[in-house]
A and B are shown apart, each in its own frame.
Chain A
Amino acid sequence: METIVSDTNRLRTFLKQMIVETLKLEDITAEKIDGDAPLFKEGLGLDSIDALELVVAVEKHFNVIIEDENVGKEAFASVNVLAGFIQKMFSGVSKSRMRLSG
């Protein structure tokens, strides 16, 4: 997993595949997901229940824990933003739970 995380393009591809498989999306393939498109509401049109599954999938694959809803909303803005978030948390200062500051 470290190899994938350190390679931004590979990570983005992995995440697109993870989203399709975790949410059992039938109408779209991983290749067709725009990395900068919003994941929720517009773009891919995911909802809060999909968010639950993605939070669990991110923890399962990367051991990155998202407990705060606001942190989750920021991290899941798009595939590319999520990739950056995971890279930061995976090799970051700590693997502890990220909390909103202030």
Chain B
Amino acid sequence: MDFTDRTVIVTGGTRGIGKAVALAFARQGARVAVIYGSDDQSAADMQVELETGGAPFLVLKGDVASPEAVDHVIGSVLQEWQRVDVLVNNAGIIRDNMLMFQPMADWNRVLDVNLKGTYLCSKAVLKHMVANRFGRIVNMVSPSGITGRAGQTNYAASKGAVIAFTKSLAREVARIGIGVNCVCPGVIATPMTDQLDPDSLAEMRRMIPMGRVGTPREVADAVLFLASDLATYITGQVLIVDGGLI
């Protein structure tokens, strides 16, 4: 899968799955822009790794839920490289609570980052992809968005909505040569799953037919596949990478 001369944007690209995705694209020759929200230390670490790799890159700070921030970071990428070929909407947060105890602020923030962020970033790059008659958008979702999960009404709602968004946008732009798909990682060893308590994690492992959590690299491979020339007839789909969980 060769991404030489392709410009790739990965939101939430300095940690966990996003980081693995960004580094994987860089290894395949892409120019990679990673966008992060607030973790400056992870961003600095990512900068060092990308510098070591030698490919052109950008590390940009911006809240994907903010229209102004999205316009600014996407504008920076276009100013540097004049095109966007691949967008990976990976930025996402969890704020788990049973619904009865879920504050509105948590509901709003999860929907804002996970769903509105996907909308804002996709819209910001879309006209450039339309102009080039080429684009790949890959949206990261979750098994919660397909089966639901107790304690994640907000998160599951956001990811279920991203699936519906993906299928709709795919139908809008398929004829222009733009593919829009989802990757649905299961339980993956990342900072997000580090927040889960050990009992929950152990219970999850028991439920996974492969008997282990996945690695960020295994998810990144799926993202690169959907963005590559190996997936030119695939659009509007959800590729589940979960060891058989759902």
Contact = CB atoms under 8 A, between A and B. Distances in A.
A and B held together in a complex: yes
A60 interface: yes
A49 B175 contact: yes
B172 interface: yes
A48 B174 CA distance: 12
Interface stretch (A7-15, A37-45, A51-59, A80-88): A51-59
A49 B172 CA distance: 7
A48 B173 CA distance: 10
Contacts of A53: 130, 176
B206 interface: no
A57 B128 CA distance: 10
Contacts of B175: 49
Contacts of B173: 49, 52
Interface residue SS majority, chain B:
helix
Contacts of B127: 52, 55-56, 59
B150 interface: no
Contacts of B172: 48-49, 52
Contacts of A52: 127, 130, 172-173, 176
Interface in A2-50: 48-49
A55 B126 CA distance: 12
Interface residue SS majority, chain A:
helix
Contact of B131 (A48, A49, A56): A56
A61 to B, nearest CB: 11
Interface in B1-51: none
Contacts of A55: 127
Contacts of B176: 49, 52-53
Rank and list the top 6 A-B pairs by shortest CB-CB distance, nearest first.
A56-B130, A56-B131, A56-B127, A49-B175, A52-B130, A53-B130
19 contacts: A48-B172, A49-B172, A49-B173, A49-B175, A49-B176, A52-B127, A52-B130, A52-B172, A52-B173, A52-B176, A53-B130, A53-B176, A55-B127, A56-B127, A56-B130, A56-B131, A57-B131, A59-B127, A60-B131
Interface of B: 127, 130-131, 172-173, 175-176
